[in-house]
Amino acid sequence: MKQVAKSHSKLLRPAALISARAFIVVCLVASLFLGCAPKPKILPEDRTPRKVLECALENQVGFETLASLLNLKLKGEEGKFSGTVEFFYRQPDTFAISPRTFLGIGGFKALAEGDSLTIYFPGRNEYYRGSFSDFEESGQWSWGISLNMLLDLILARGGPTAENSQYAGATEDIFSYRTEERKWLREYWIDSRNCRLVRSLWTQKESQEWYRMEYKDFTTYTTVELPSEIRMESDANDSARLKFKERKFDISIPAGRFQIDIPADAQRVVFEGGGGG
């Protein structure tokens, strides 16, 4: 009897292993059909307005430097253009833009620090040096979506804060919040299931001009989820789409990336309506 029991135990071991493997395979196959959704960051019973906002604020990344490659599309009444752009940033407020390919606009390189802006046009061997406001007021930037607004999107500025965000209601799993500043009224919609900011609406209080954003195609960076695509439209029927192809935070960026070599024979231009200097 003991020998029979022993032999049966040996026979059962491979079968048990096969069953365990089969169970794992079935679970994996089922996950493919049922979807591999990440585990909720907040349990349904804990999804209060305060906890959802705190979770969304934790789902942000802080950085000293940023190097990115992105596809940019702009469309408005004045026309449209698109292309691939290299973008470099370092704190406190310095950035450089160098398009790799662009349709609808000539080649250029741009460097900014604070409100100071330098743009060089290699094809024309011309350059502009002045302020953001002068450049935009000159009419050379003919889009209703300002250059500063695009920078805010790339750098993830203008999001909700713990200090002044007020809960404004919920529709199923989407919680909305509102912040009011001196110039802006901002509204945010956060998916309470995963703490993602999925939509926002920025309204200028004085002019009532508004900008609506949608955040899509989230990817994981360390412990946070960031949108790989941002779409914006304005009340002036201008639109923008930013799609990040590469994005690296807190890396060492060579100093040369924040320099523009302007030839000595380049002509300095003053845009009509702008200061240019």
Q: What is the pLDDT of residues 194-236, one digit of tens each?
A: 999 999 999 999 999 999 999 999 999 888 899 999 999 998 8
Percent of the chain with pLDDT over 90: 48
Per residue in 177-195, pLDDT tens?
999 998 999 999 999 999 9
The sign of the CA dihedral 139, 143, 145, 147 is negative
pLDDT value of residue 217: 95
Percent of the chain with pLDDT over 70: 79
What does the DSSP 8-state code read for residue 257? G
Question: Is the backbone of residue 110 left (phi > 0), alpha (psi -120 to 50) or beta?
Answer: beta
* pTM, entire model: 0.77
Token pair 């304005």 is found at 234
Which secondary-structure segment (H or E) carries 16?
A: helix 2-34
Alpha-carbon distance 185 to 247, whole Å?
29
pLDDT value of residue 96: 94
Q: Is 112 within 8 Å of 135 (Cβ atoms)? A: no
pLDDT top residue among 42 and 18: 42
The sign of the CA dihedral 251, 254, 259, 262 is negative
pLDDT top residue among 76 and 193: 193
Per residue in 141-176, pLDDT tens?
666 677 788 888 898 888 999 988 999 999 999 999
pLDDT value of residue 157: 87
pLDDT at 127 over 50: yes
